[in-house]
Structure 1
Amino acid sequence: MTSQPVRALLLEQIHPEAEAVLRSAGFEVESVGRALDEDELVDRLRGVQLLGIRSKTQVTRRVLESARGLTAIGAFCIGTNQIDLAAATEAGIAVFNAPFSNTRSVVELAIAEIISMTRRLTEKNALMHAGTWDKSADGAHEVRGRTLGIVGYGNIGTQLSVLAENLGMQVLFYDKVDKLALGNARRCLELEDLLRQADVVTLHVDGRADNANLFGADEFEQMRPGSLFLNLSRGFVVDYGSLRKHVESGHIAGAAVDVFPVEPKGRGDEFVSELRGLPNVILTPHIGGSTEEAQQDIGRFVAGKFRDFWRDGTSAMSVNLPGLVLPRAENTLRLVHLHRNVPGVLARVNGLLADGGVNVEAQLLGTRGEIGYAVTDSASGTTQAIVDQIRALPETIGLRVIF
């Protein structure tokens, strides 16, 4: 039972705060400023225990099956749909994300874009840069008194709801799950009800597969003439060809889009979209959470999850494992055992420890679906032979020894 240097690979310009946290914990860190494709990732993960990504790198089953030493993946963002979670769990790899850290940044961008489109600032700006002075108020409005429809009432949707009300907007929301309305917001039981009433429709849904093609021709047609549309959630939930047609016809007066079905891998790469060149359409390169404050918080948060998971087996807020936090007593050896959730596994582990004369100082078990996760501390007596016996149990997915 010898310790090896812990190697972390961070991709896609993750904030330097993450590297600082990991290096201070004694880990070796390699940072790459872009996304990697599948073949590159397979090659670069040899000897890597911790992988940090953002939204573009796709961690597929093939990648996970080839990454023998990989212990944890951190999505330094909200979504985890770019990771094959089932394959990660089968391989005993913990997955973490940052579900809250960039919420405020996304909300502020949404508010800024709503005001910009309502005042038609994009068109005024373009005219000024072209040397044309146009002080007309035609088509410009206040947001006060207008109705905002929020599709997806999670962390971002709820905070946007509160700030929009502070600006004097009326708020409607639709969510497939029953959610508590904040302030004076009103829930719509059907998406169609929201679309018929809202002056501005904004999407804040998650990346689950059943949200694909959520918004298309039928939904745009149901929106009020002259209304505005925003998507700061996922690119694959909207039919952008249909959005273009409705903007060109004037049915949709303006749109703001931050996410796209296919996005360039790195800074400076060509961006291709049917939405380019449209008036009063704001296109941003997936920057909803890209503020210094948000990225620093995300870097610190996810890197801290890496550190705590590696050092202590702490899995609090893991996306795919039971969330366990067991305080560590001094001078103990910790076994972190990921196994199939079937009856009797913990009893067999404890039987092996007892047969070896090992006294358990502390123990915690959690289950999640088909997965069981147990953390066991002992003061002395745990030998390599006992570890090998536990690892050889047919239910064992993975076992780590933490000194």
Structure 2
Amino acid sequence: MHAGVWNKSAEGAHEVRGRTLGIVGYGNIGTQLSVVAESLGMSVAFYNTSEKLALGNARRMGSLEELLEVSDVVTLHVDGRKGNAGLFGAEQFARMKPGALFLNLSRGFVIDTAALREAILSGHLGGASIDVFPQEPKRKGDPFESDLRGLPNVILTPHIGGSTEEAQEAIGTFVANKLRDYVTTGSTTLSVNLPNLALEQTTGVARIAHLHRNTPGVLAAVNNTLAQHGVNIEGQLLATRGELGYVVTDIGSPLPDGVTEALAAMDQTVRLRVLA
């Protein structure tokens, strides 16, 4: 239209109303999308590896394969854990309905882009929209290479899903609050490099946060050290992630002399913090 061309055609255009949206990953984003899709008249099916309550009329599918077979549009909203690498490949694309649409706005390494290219070129899929890629340029203006360039009915965007001014402001506030929570409570929820523990304010006199190398017997050693110094434990949480472990202990009395020194001297200790 800007070029002065009146190319009026509805060929290949369809309404979303009455179609089925399949959401893979029913977390914060997936559930919000579920509500929006229903408001547009879509039926929603979802698949999530952990138990999730459905919102509205969304239907939980028992397997990923079941979801792919009933969905007109499939959208991925899984997290970045290593186990999701290669989640979607040739087998999954082949199970999708002929003419279905595919969207990935989660992580680039989740899909096999070569398999997606083949599914588009063969005509099995009707189109795709991709915002994230296995290899992405580091800076604005750098060249972008992908198997998906130049394909028909494929929208490629440069990882801009969270790039609005409002989103960037919200991210800054979110990160600052997470750092505050770690400093004040020891909470590491949503950390990308530490075991995740969701912690409230301590109910005891002090809280001991012990980051350590993930080897057998650390928790027993921590508790034995506390017991030897007559320290009573009011609450305790432990999480591990790869080579690291993180145990947080609330105690009901002031720390006796020598406790922190003994814990810090453990071979497995990476960092020890005491929050009063």
User: What TM-score bracket applies, with the shorter chain setting the length?
Assistant: 0.7 to 0.9
Cα 1:183/1:402, change in 2 over 3 Å: closer
SS in structure 1 at match of 2:128: strand
Mapped to 2, the partners of 1:151 and 1:333 lie a distance apart of 42
Quickly say closer, same or farther: Cα 1:334–1:216, change in 2 above 3 A.
closer
- Paired with 1:139 and 1:364, the residues of 2 have a C-alpha distance of 60
Given that residues 326 and 375 in structure 1 are in contact (C-alpha distance below 8 angstroms), is that contact kept between their aligned partners in structure 2?
no
SS in 1 for 2:219: coil
* CA deviation after TM superposition for structure 1 residue 191, in Å: 2.6
Counting helix residues as a fraction of each chain, which structure ranks higher?
A: 1
- Give TM-score scaled by structure 1 length: 0.57
Asked if 2 retains the 8 angstrom alpha-carbon contact of 1:199 and 1:227, the reply is: yes
Partner residue of 2:127 out of 254, 266, 286: 254
* Matched residue, 1:315: 187
Give the aligned residue type for 2:172: G
* Partner AA of 1:324 in structure 2: L
Q: Measure how far apart 1:129 and its partner are.
A: 5.7
Match of residue 237 from structure 2: 366
Partners of 2:60 and 2:260 lie apart in 1 by 54
Q: Give 1:394 deviation, angstroms.
A: 4.6
Where structure 2 has 5 or more consecutive residues not aligned to the other structure, the ranges are: none
CA contact (8 A) 2:73 2:100 kept: yes
Whose RCO is larger (CA < 8 A, sep 6+)?
Answer: 1
What is the CA distance between 1:232 and its match in structure 2? 0.9
Partners of 1:265 and 1:229 in 2: how far apart?
26
Where 1:306 maps in the other structure, the secondary structure is helix
In 2, Cα distance between equivalents of 1:186 and 1:135: 37
Q: Deviation at 1:295?
A: 2.2
Task: Tell me whether 1:282 sits opposite 2:159 in the alignment.
Answer: no
1:154-205 deviation per Cα after TM superposition (whole angstroms, max 9, x unaligned): 2222211111011001112223334322211222223333223221111112
For residues 229-275 of structure 1, the C-alpha deviation after alignment (integer angstroms, 9 at most, x for no partner) is 11111112212122222222332222100111111112221111111
Decide whether the 8 Å contact of 2:78 with 2:107 is kept in 1: yes
Task: Tell me the equivalent position of 1:165.
Answer: 38
**Residue range with higher mean Cα deviation, 332-341 or 133-142:** 332-341
Which residue is 2:220 aligned to?
Answer: 343
CA distance 1:398–1:269, shift in 2 (3 Å): same
Q: TM-score under structure 2 normalisation?
A: 0.80
Q: Is the 8 A contact 1:257 1:282 kept in 2?
A: yes
Take 1:336 and 1:283, find their aligned partners in 2: how far apart are those partners?
44
Going from structure 1 to structure 2, the CA distance change for 1:172 and 1:266 (only over 3 Å counts) comes to same
Structure-1 separation of matches of 2:22 and 2:87: 15
- Identity rate of aligned residues, in percent? 54
Which amino acid in the other structure matches residue 189 of structure 2?
A: M
Cα deviation, residue 367, structure 1: 2.2
Aligned to 1:224: 97
Aligned equivalent of 1:195: 68
Q: Which SS does the other structure have where 1:342 is aligned?
A: helix
Gap change, CA 1:398 and 1:148, over 3 Å in 2:
same
Aligned counterpart in structure 1 of residue 166 of structure 2, from 293, 309, 312: 293
Indicate the SS of the match to 2:75: strand
The answer on 1:209 being equivalent to 2:82 is yes
The alpha-carbon deviation at position 402 of structure 1 amounts to 5.9
Distance 2:209 2:164 in 1: 36
| Secondary structure at 2:145 match in 1 | coil
Shift in Å, 1:134: 0.8
Aligned length: 265
CA RMSD of aligned residues (A): 3.1
Q: Deviations over 1:71-95 (max 9, x none)?
A: xxxxxxxxxxxxxxxxxxxxxxxxx
Is 1:177 the counterpart of 2:62? The answer is no
Q: Which runs of 5+ in 1 are unaligned?
A: 1-127
